[in-house]
Amino acid sequence: MVATRFAVAVHILILLATEPTGQATSSRIAESVGTNPVVIRRLAGLLARAGLVRIRRGPGGAELARPASDITLADVWAAMRRPGLPLLPNHRGPQSGGDPLGRVVPGMLREVLDEAELAMEERLARVTLEMLQSRVVPA
């Protein structure tokens, strides 16, 4: 679920960065994304709480809160992620009992998955919204 929210949030931000001010309504963004305006407003609220967008009531009331060059994909990822919830869940193994494999595999796997998440976040930190925006071909 977080990956879908992340992709839609990036779409929202690119649209805000490329559309003329006042043109990026929730209906316009929803049409571009292929979803409902309510979904866009919910995600825009998360982006606003993270300090990535400013929202005003009325048509076209959203804009980037800072330059596209200062927003990384890691910022967007953090805005869409629930704190404490791992990206790649892992089974817990037996809560009690004597199975030695059941006690150690979840911890070993968690370590590897946590390292993979960290590597992904480090990569996302090297990509700015401006970099993605520069790849958008005007319609």
pLDDT (tens digit, 9 = 90+) per residue, 103-116?
Answer: 788 888 888 888 99
Domains of the chain, CATH where assigned: 2-133 (1.10.10.10)
Using alpha carbons only, what angle is made at residue 121 by residues 115 and 123, rounded to the nearest 5 degrees?
Answer: 105
Helix (H, G, I), strand (E, B) or coil at 63: strand
Structure tokens at 20: 């003329």
Q: How far is CA 96 from the centre of its chain?
A: 37
Element at 10 (helix H, strand E) = helix 2-18
- What gap in Å lies between CA 13 and CA 81, rounded to an integer? 16
- What gap in Å lies between CA 9 and CA 75, rounded to an integer? 11
Mean pLDDT, 10 residues at a time, over the chain (139 residues)? Answer: 89 91 84 94 96 83 92 96 72 69 82 90 97 81
